[in-house]
Structure 1
């Protein structure tokens, strides 16, 4: 198999995998998006409850990155505190491992009938619950089709000694493996897709378990780029949450890095197939890091406030409850729009009181307040409209 065939097969398979993942995620949000919103609204200050909600949300969205973008929007809106957001974020690290476990089951051998059944249900029952179920099934089918194409393409790497040597070197040089995993994940912005490729390489026999573990550790760092991008221009607490994810993953990877080889030997005892071992390594790492750091949420809040110092401004002229990051969750966006309308009314009422104070009592300081509030109301009008 020549180089072009390997590259195009892998790229095409990756595109199918990501498209299937998006189709699956969108269908799940349409089917149970309202319940997901209720879960987030009932979130309390207890970190362990936040972690449970985070695991469920990430499992529904099939992406910890999408969960982080959603959290940034909610924290920016004032619907969640930073400590609550960190608890949910820790749980989302566990929920995102579901995809890898499903892939390792090798149920993708039946992707063609799965795609057919999903398509028929989606078309026949369009606009109904059964149609949503069909789109969920269709998303799974396309996801596994992409996985099969990736596996077929990567088998050609066995004929490329240089690439093969580089991949296997990631096992002995774990720092190299972490850097490669982080770099690739940052580019494709999906740790699930990176993990899928690692499992595909394991299935093709072109990678060792220690190398796979190193690449997956790197993927956990690389996936934080999405939240960092989403937090640009948002509130201080939202930026702190993005930094908290970076800190959590860097701390976790740094703690595991010296023990990659013994950890790999331990994981090897959990299953006979390499693909299952890779999926288990991914799951066990995320569970361990979450369980260790969950009681330390208060310390993480303190640390992020020192890494990203500052104070929130007194008047936030930007929309607090709405943002582009919520467009992927219509049920939540609709509820946030309702809250934004109420806030718009409250700001307008406050602005009228300030106008009265400025005009009738000669309080010149109120003029700036009126202008700032008017800017916020105008921004809300543009956002909601």
Structure 2
């Protein structure tokens, strides 16, 4: 019966801890979404700035695994190169140590206090920001409370002969025991898929006296290796650069652990010397009051030291992973890969990835415009068939991107989003829909050129009128695209320009009907010309709608 009670207490405490960690991460992302977005935008080729970005983002999302997966996604979407990604990953290893310090506070002592402080703004606050702050406090309380339950549940194990006999080998102070603990920590982290959860379990075991500090320190080293599996899994199906980034993370952590492992006894002694109070000191209640701070300190020292050691060798690491992960020989296209369930991704990071796809869609629309110019403005009729086939191919690509981005963002919107994030998500869905329609009409415009001898249809005044409208519509599209990119859309100006273009199109159609009436053009030519003007007018309309989506 005692064993059953221990099992359900540990599982219940772990469940509360997990729930608290997940909610705290989501609430922090909601409150600090703009900070995460702006931090990501400041990534440069400078290795130090990339490390700082990785550190800050991981502090906000409270998970190095999430940051690593996010980084793989950015590389895959073409937002980040390999050197930048490695710098961010190094920073993520530092940022994740904050979690250790949060849960190293004396567990249980403040759990109910934070739950009490957080529940009222969570339930009754009028603004989302204050509700999320309440959610953060409530979640921190859940973390402490869950750890307290686990710690109390583990206490009977320290006097259970069967359990002590089973773990006796892992408690020994020799390299065989250290290695075994590292392997166990790695495997359990891979299974649980959360180094933060394993760190919490390790602190709970050590705080209750089930394991000593040296065993806990070895487990933490293993957890640092196990956490890399998430990014490795995320890179499956991604492009070569994303695979290299994930492997760089694994190699970095493996080498860091190997270096510390070689000097492990001195590493433990150094932490004991640095942190006040004996690691295995026991108070009157039988709690190991100092060990949690020792574990958090060891976690921080390991990750900071490993990063400092590897900073000068980032280029060598990048070259090494490039060598062991050779390119396939085919030119790869960056593309958005559904990294598991988008609703579980960091919102700011996921929106940045989706924006990269929108930008790629804009690039394809620009290529379609160039193909249309080649036929109608430059009158390259020799390559008409090749241009038409390429235009159809581009149009199919825009269809796929529109579908992919829409599904991705809709799934992402399952997350609680801030007001700004919600606005950006909805704007992107509308924008890709309008871009897909613009691509459709440009492709139709190109297809109309195959109806007959286009050089006879567009000549003299008819050509001048068409060229003027084509150039003006394209200029309107370029202007709106730039405003959207800079997030400075003036819809009143766009609306006025759109009306001018609509009036211009109507005047051109009327003038052409007069030419048909006078016998200058036949009926089929008139219909084709009318369809061409309508296509430009539709492009104008969808461009205006794209501007309106960002108001």
Scaled by the length of structure 2, the TM-score of the pair is 0.65
Q: Mean Cα displacement is larger for which, 157-166 or 266-275?
A: 157-166
Q: Call closer, same or farther: CA 1:8–1:372 in 2, change over 3 Å.
A: farther
Q: Call closer, same or farther: CA 1:321–1:217 in 2, change over 3 Å.
A: closer
Q: Secondary structure at the match of 1:205?
A: coil
CA deviations on 1:219-245 (whole Å, 9 max, x unpaired) are 011111111111111121111111111
Cα offset for 1:30? 0.5
Q: Call closer, same or farther: CA 1:105–1:77 in 2, change over 3 Å.
A: same
The CA distance in 2 between the partners of 1:224 and 1:130, in whole Å, is: 34
Per the alignment, residue 336 of structure 2 pairs with 319
Paired residue total: 385
Cα offset for 1:349? 3.6
Per the alignment, residue 148 of structure 1 pairs with 148
Q: Secondary structure at the match of 1:109?
A: coil
Q: Say if 2:128 is the partner of 1:124.
A: no
Per the alignment, residue 454 of structure 2 pairs with none
Partner of residue 314 from structure 2, selected from 297, 309, 313: 297
Per the alignment, residue 210 of structure 1 pairs with 214
CA deviations on 1:106-149 (whole Å, 9 max, x unpaired) are 16412112112211111111543211111111111111111111
Cα offset for 1:49? 1.3
Q: Call closer, same or farther: CA 1:225–1:92 in 2, change over 3 Å.
A: same
Q: Say if 2:44 is the partner of 1:44.
A: yes
Q: Call closer, same or farther: CA 1:265–1:324 in 2, change over 3 Å.
A: same
Partner of residue 186 from structure 2, selected from 182, 185, 190: 182
Partner of residue 271 from structure 1, selected from 276, 290, 308: 276
Written as runs of structure 1 = structure 2, the 5 A alignment for 1:200-239 is 200-239=204-243
Per the alignment, residue 61 of structure 1 pairs with 61
CA deviations on 1:39-59 (whole Å, 9 max, x unpaired) are 111111111111111111111
Q: Which runs of 5+ in 2 are unaligned?
A: 278-289, 407-551
Cα offset for 1:168? 4.5
Contact 2:116 2:138 in 1 (8 A): yes
Q: Call closer, same or farther: CA 1:121–1:354 in 2, change over 3 Å.
A: same
Scaled by the length of structure 1, the TM-score of the pair is 0.91
The CA distance in 2 between the partners of 1:223 and 1:306, in whole Å, is: 24
Q: Call closer, same or farther: CA 1:296–1:326 in 2, change over 3 Å.
A: farther
Contact 2:19 2:142 in 1 (8 A): yes
Contact 1:53 1:91 in 2 (8 A): yes
Per the alignment, residue 382 of structure 1 pairs with 403
Per the alignment, residue 261 of structure 1 pairs with 265
Per the alignment, residue 113 of structure 1 pairs with 113
Cα offset for 1:271? 2.9
Q: Call closer, same or farther: CA 1:124–1:313 in 2, change over 3 Å.
A: farther
Contact 1:179 1:218 in 2 (8 A): yes
Per the alignment, residue 244 of structure 1 pairs with 248
Q: Call closer, same or farther: CA 1:369–1:253 in 2, change over 3 Å.
A: farther
Structure whose alpha-carbon radius of gyration is higher: 2
Contact 1:213 1:260 in 2 (8 A): no
The CA distance in 2 between the partners of 1:314 and 1:369, in whole Å, is: 18
Contact 1:54 1:91 in 2 (8 A): yes
CA deviations on 1:258-284 (whole Å, 9 max, x unpaired) are 222221122112132222212211111
Contact 1:186 1:222 in 2 (8 A): yes
Q: What is the root-mean-square deviation in Å for CA atoms of aligned residues? A: 2.6
Per the alignment, residue 71 of structure 1 pairs with 71
Q: Call closer, same or farther: CA 1:301–1:367 in 2, change over 3 Å.
A: farther
Contact 2:70 2:349 in 1 (8 A): no
Higher relative contact order (CA 8 A, sep 6+): 1
Q: Call closer, same or farther: CA 1:274–1:362 in 2, change over 3 Å.
A: same
Q: Call closer, same or farther: CA 1:338–1:176 in 2, change over 3 Å.
A: closer
The CA distance in 2 between the partners of 1:258 and 1:109, in whole Å, is: 37
The CA distance in 1 between the partners of 2:235 and 2:342, in whole Å, is: 10
The CA distance in 2 between the partners of 1:80 and 1:326, in whole Å, is: 22
The CA distance in 2 between the partners of 1:368 and 1:153, in whole Å, is: 69
Contact 1:10 1:150 in 2 (8 A): yes
The CA distance in 1 between the partners of 2:388 and 2:238, in whole Å, is: 26
The CA distance in 2 between the partners of 1:146 and 1:312, in whole Å, is: 51
Cα offset for 1:218? 0.6
